[in-house]
Structure formats: structure tokens, C-alpha cells
Amino acid sequence: MHYTLHQLQVFLKVTEFKSITKAAEELHLTQPAVSIQIKNFQNQFPIPLTEVVGRQLFVTDFGEEIAAAARKIIAEVDAINYKTMAYQGQLSGKLKISIVSTGKYLMPYYITDFMNMHPGVDLEMDVTNKTRVVRHLEKNETDFALVSVVPDHIAIDKVRLIPNKLFLVGGRQHTYSGKTISKKDFDKLPVVYREKGSATRAAMENYIADRKLPTRKKIELTSNEAVKQAVISGIGISILPLVGLKNALSSGDAQIIPSKGLPITTHWNLIWQKSKQLSPTAKAFVSYLEEHKTALNEKHFGWLDTY
């Protein structure tokens, strides 16, 4: 057999996404290039690695076994590279961070300078909802999690970052009477929700239930960005984290609708299991955040204080 590391990497992406197209996008390759690599890899095995049923790609049981072996090979290669860098005096290793979807507006600003300072550090960042983030943490599948609501059933350590303010938001088209929105006005406007499992969804449901607000029509979307675009388009109103609204508010495409009991304020925290043995790379990142977070907060998120 003469398979290459590149073929292993391509095959792993295909098994992860169950899609040639999505794997190509993730690897920044063309779809034909990925297909050729998969074909060349498959030609070295007498048993199918994948199969297509209908229009859906599935990984066979044999393919799953090969994928598991490929992960171990790639991990060993990474370990060789990291050890080489360590002997050269460079900080090296992989950081695994699982973040809730709104966290994509924050984490790049907290980690970019650290990554630039340490080119031997690789980043693997999964963006999903709160339920899955906590599950990753519980299963020790990630080093850190970025959340706005800290789970209370896990013993954790944390670095507190910035406040997370949630406001009622509408598009430029929405009007309301009075200084704050009334129940009557609220009843006229469809409400756009995040999917179940989202901390933003939970906060919105609690707010609406506590104030016994009417909801004429409910629309459910699977990311804060999708909700924001729906709000901007005028399809409805929603409660959204302020941190993702900077451009929309500045341009006037979105507006904060005054409402009693808002904003809801929590805090963004980078958390990890208290019992976890952090790698030297992970420890270095924690130290970096503790030393630089105040300056980073002022530089990138000072605008939050105007709301």
C-alpha cells in the first residue's frame, strides 16, 4: 500500500462530513480534487470504504475502522511535529476549543495574537450550541469551552471575559408605541427563536414566560447569525446578544427595542474541567488570557459599554 498522509487527511474529512462537497470546502480544495484523492485511496483496499445510497454518502463499517486508524496516524505525525518544535524551544501543540455560536464574534479576538506569537500551536474550534458544547466538555473532547451560562453540574475553572447583554431587537421597519414595547405591540410581531439547546433560546423563553408576553407566531432558526438576518429583513423580532449586532446597529439595519426587564446580562467565560490536566499549550493560553484580557476587552469590545 502506498497511501499518503494527504489521502488520510482527505478521507477523514469525508468521513466527518459524509459529503465530498463539504469536505472540499473545509479543505479549501475543489470537489474533483477530493474525489480523485478518495478514489486513489479506495483503490488500495479490496473492501469499500464508503457507499452512496440515494444521494447520501455513508461510511461502511470497514471505512470506520480505517478512519479510526487514520486518526491515530495523523495524531502521531502531529506529535512528531510538536516534539520537534518543542526541542527547538517553541511552544507547540493543539488547542481544542468548543464555543457556542455567538462565541464566533468573540474568540477570534482573544486567540489571534496568541496564535501569531506561537506559530507552532494549532487550533481546532467547534462552533455549536450550548448543549453540545457542554457535552464536549463532559466527554473530555475539548480543552476549553466558551459559554455565557456556566453549567452548574460540572466542577470547572474559568477565565471571566466580558458581559453578555441580550436585548430585544427588530429591523428598521418595526415601530412601537410608548417608551417601551407593550404587550399589544409585542403581539403584533412574529418572534424569531434559536433552536432548542441554545442558551439564547432559553433566556428568551424565560423572559417571555416571566412577563406572560403573547407570541403570535414562532419562527425557529439554528444560529444567531440566521436570526439576526431574519430580524434585519423584517420577518420578526428576537432577543439577541449585543456582541453580534455591532454592524447592524451602526448601519441602522437593526434597532434595539426598549423593553422592561432587558437587557438580560450574564458573562462570557472560557471554562474547563477542574480535574483536567491542561497541556503546556493550554496552560500558556490561560496565562495569556489572564494577562491580556483587560486590554483585549477595551480594544475590541469597548463599544459594548455604549448600550
Q: How confident is the model at residue 188 (pLDDT cuts 50, 70, 90)?
A: confident
CATH number for the region 5-84 comes to 1.10.10.10
Query: Same topology for domains 92-162+267-306 and 165-265, yes or no?
Result: yes
Given a contact cutoff of 8 angstroms between Cβ atoms, the answer to whether 91 and 74 are in contact is no
Provide mean pLDDT across the span 76-104.
79
- Please tell me what DSSP assigns to residue 220: E
Residue that wins the pLDDT comparison between 130 and 80: 130
Least confident segment among 113-122, 150-159, 186-195, 288-297 = 186-195
**Angle at CA 76, nearest 5°, toward 75 and 80?**
115
* Distance in angstroms (rounded) separating the CA atoms of residues 243 and 262: 15
What average pLDDT does this structure show over 177-196? 81
Q: Which of 99-108, 149-158, 167-176 has the lowest mean pLDDT?
A: 167-176
- What beta strand segments (E) does the chain contain? 50-53, 56-59, 93-100, 121-128, 144-147, 156-171, 191-194, 218-221, 238-241, 254-256, 264-273
pLDDT above 80 for 178: no
Segments making up each domain of the chain, as ranges: 5-84, 92-162+267-306, 165-265
pLDDT band, residue 89 (cuts 50/70/90): low
CB neighbours of 276 closer than 8 A, spacing ≥ 6?
140, 143
Taking all residues of the chain, what is their mean pLDDT, rounded to a whole number?
Answer: 89
Q: Are strands 144-147 and 93-100 parallel, antiparallel or unpaired?
A: parallel
Predicted local confidence at residue 175, as pLDDT: 74
H or E, element range at 222: none
Give pLDDT, residue 88.
63
Per-residue pLDDT band at 66 (split at 50, 70, 90): very high
Mean per-residue pLDDT, 29-33: 91
Confidence bin at 85 (pLDDT 50/70/90): low
Digit-coded pLDDT (tens) for 262-290: 999 999 999 999 999 888 889 999 999 99
Please state the rounded mean pLDDT for residues 125-141. 89
CATH architecture of residue range(s) 92-162+267-306? 3-Layer(aba) Sandwich (3.40)
Mean pLDDT for the stretch of residues 144-149: 93
Q: Which fold has domain 165-265?
A: D-Maltodextrin-Binding Protein; domain 2 (3.40.190)
When pLDDT is averaged across residues 41-65 and rounded to a whole number, the result is 91
Tell me the pLDDT band of 296, cut-offs 50, 70 and 90.
very high
Per-residue confidence band for 213, with pLDDT thresholds at 50, 70 and 90: confident
pLDDT reading at 239 higher than 90: yes
- pLDDT score for 183: 81
- For residue 82, pLDDT beyond 90: no
Q: What is the pTM of this model?
A: 0.71
pLDDT at 252: 92
Q: Residue 212: pLDDT above 90? A: no
Mean local confidence (pLDDT), 110-135: 90
pLDDT over 80 at 84, yes or no: no
- Choose among 1, 14, 118, 117: nearest CA to 63: 14
3-state secondary structure of 148: coil
